[in-house]
């Protein structure tokens, strides 16, 4: 059961990922609707996931209300996370939609800062 579903993404393998924001988790389903697994906020402490994408390698990237972006492997292992709350370049306030460019840059809709930011490793800057 969902509580405030906020984002959805489909992998090339046919897995549907849903940001179940009100339950503080990501749920994974087959295209037939069969539940596969959930990434919850237990040990990783994410808060109300909003935007989600699946990259070409099948990694799951999503944003949450704690001003962070998380990257999980296709089998649900946390690989990386970044972001800190703020208004300066490279800082986020309510990140929402995400996209990954061909060159590997991660584009983040930084909602409350009214900008799009792009990130690559240690670099960040706004558009």
At 81 the pLDDT is: 86
Answer CATH for 5-126 from 2.120.10.30, 2.40.50.140, 3.30.565.10, 3.40.50.720 = 2.120.10.30
CA distance 25 to 19: 6
Nearest-angstrom CA–CA distance, 82 and 45? 13
Q: What is the pTM (predicted TM-score) of this model?
A: 0.87
Q: What is the mean pLDDT of each run of 10 residues along the chain (127 residues)?
A: 92 95 93 93 75 92 91 88 90 92 88 92 49
Q: Domain boundaries in the chain?
A: 5-126
């Amino acid at each position: 059961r969902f509580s405030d579903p906020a984002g959805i993404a489909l992998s090339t393998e046919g897995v549907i990922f849903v940001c179940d924001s009100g339950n503080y988790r990501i749920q994974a389903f087959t295209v037939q609707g069969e539940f596969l697994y959930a990434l919850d906020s237990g040990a990783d402490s994410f808060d109300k996931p909003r935007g989600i994408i699946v990259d070409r390698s099948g990694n799951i990237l999503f944003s949450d209300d704690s001003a962070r972006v998380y990257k999980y492997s296709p089998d649900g292992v946390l690989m990386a996370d970044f972001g800190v709350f703020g208004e300066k370049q490279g800082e986020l306030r309510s990140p929402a939609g995400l996209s990954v460019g061909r060159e590997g840059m991660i584009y983040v809709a930084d909602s409350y800062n009214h900008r799009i930011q792009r990130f690559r490793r240690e670099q960040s800057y706004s558009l």
